[in-house]
Amino acid sequence: MWVIYHKDTLLHQTVELIGAKLIPALESPARIEAILKVLEEDEENTIQYLHDKQNPDNLPFPKCEPLSHDLVQELLTKTHDFSYLEHLKTAHAAWVAQGLVEEDDCILPECFRPPTNTTGSRSEQPPEDIFARMGYYAFDMSSGLSKGSWKAILASATIAVEAARLLTVPTMVALQSPYFKIQNTVLALCRPPGHHCDTKMSGGYCYVNNAVLAVEALHHYLNGQYPGLLLIPKVAILDLDFHHGNGTQDYFYSNSAVLYVSIHGLNEFPYYSGFEEETGRDSGRGFNCNYPIPVKTSAEEYMAVLKAAMDKIQDFQPDFLIVSLGFDTFRLDPLGSFDLDTEDYETMARCVRSSDELRSIPAIIMLEGGYVFENLGENMKSFLKGWKGNV
């Protein structure tokens, strides 16, 4: 399995509120460290340490174009609001410069724009005040910024783009090779996660939408291969995080080339989306599919829903699959309430790869949530076992 990791993802360290109590955010660097540790123990994994400039390209296809930081920037500005990105990049330093906080402190939004304020002439505009901007560009208080946040956000985005690159280069140069038939999956260890974020608002620990970036990067790499020919691949996004990926749904809501399918807790965060009747708009109608399921759902019930979701995806006949994978469906997760245990992730992955057709889809497994870091490594290992078990 190809695994993509970047150590800058560890630089983002925030706090969050539970009621009025401030705690270190559950979305912590320890999550990535725990997963990486288990992945490193398995010699079958080829880990791409993106930050490691000493370590030359360890790709099996050396001819591919190197990952460019300009490209990550270009895709970020294509998919997100420019001043929002500037805000993410500069807000923390600006607060420090104005003496509002110490360098090691985390900053949180406090004043949100009231959605009912439709008459104020300036209500749509980003406020000048850096304090106010924090609320303008967020929809909740689980999206603080620390000194290292921007670097981590950028690393997370870079991992998503790199995943798309690894997947498309072999698609073009080695589609027929038996090696690619087995290795047609890339595991992207993104952090912070992305599925709650829209084009100009952070929330739910998400700052830029990594799945959105991966789709745009797939377009970029595919079309770079055949200049002059516009290839629009069909991409299915399967969101298995406990929470509905409102940001991802939103981005592709009118798009018939991207099928978004999500299984998530009913009436849970982010609360205002994820319902069955959200099926897409205009030409995207029919290409959005939500399976909200009640809390306490058992493994058996969950797998039945997943089977239906996979049928839907198979009917769509996607060229690529992105799995937004969260382990907050785990029975002990503080933010989730399904009753899934470690071995259930193996069953889950087997189901995602349960037919020859499904197995042949080049896939990115992209990390979203999952907050019991003590079990994250084993849960990931179990998922990958099921994923590979069907080869």
Contact region with ligand OKP (CB under 6 A), list: 11-19, 40-48, 347-355, 380-388 = 11-19
Number of residues forming the site for Zn ion (CB under 5 A)? 6
Using rule CB under 6 A, residue 239 touches ligand OKP? no
Q: Which residues are within 8 A (CB) of 82 and not within 5 positions of it... i.e. 6 or more apart?
A: none
- For the four alpha carbons of 164, 169, 170 and 171, in that order, the dihedral sign comes to positive
H-only helix segments in the chain: 29-41, 69-79, 82-97, 130-136, 149-173, 178-182, 210-225, 246-251, 299-316, 342-352, 356-359, 373-389
Q: Rule CB under 6 A: is residue 20 a binding residue for ligand OKP? A: no
The one catalytic residue in 80, 92, 196, 243 is 196
**197, 206 Cβ separation under 8 angstroms:** yes
Tell me the closest approach of the beta carbon of residue 195 to ligand OKP, in angstroms: 6
Which residues, numbered 165-194, are part of the site for ligand OKP (CB under 6 A)?
A: 193
d(CA 382, CA 20): 37
Binding track, positions 34-63, relative to ligand OKP; x by CB under 6 A? ------------------------------
Q: Is 242 in the site for Zn ion (CB under 5 A)?
A: yes
Q: Are 168 and 225 in contact (CB under 8 A)?
A: yes
Per CB under 6 A, 280 contacts ligand OKP: no
Q: How far is the CB of 271 from ligand OKP (least distance, A)?
A: 10
328 binds ligand OKP (CB under 6 A): yes
Should residue 265 be labelled a site residue for ligand OKP when binding is judged by CB under 6 A? no
Stretch that binds Zn ion, among 54-62, 146-154, 316-324, 363-371 (CB under 5 A): 363-371
Separation of alpha carbons 193 and 272, rounded Å: 19
**How many residues does the structure list for the chain?**
391
Q: How far apart are CA 50 and CA 84, in angstroms?
A: 25
Catalytic residue check, 196: yes
Please tell me what DSSP assigns to residue 168: H
Read off the amino acid at residue 144. G
Given 368, 380, 382, 384, the residue binding ligand OKP (CB under 6 A): 368
The residues annotated with a catalytic role in the active site are 196
* Footprint of ligand OKP (CB under 6 A): 16-18, 142, 193, 196, 204-205, 241, 243, 269, 326, 328, 335, 368-369
* Footprint of Zn ion (CB under 5 A): 241-243, 326, 328, 369
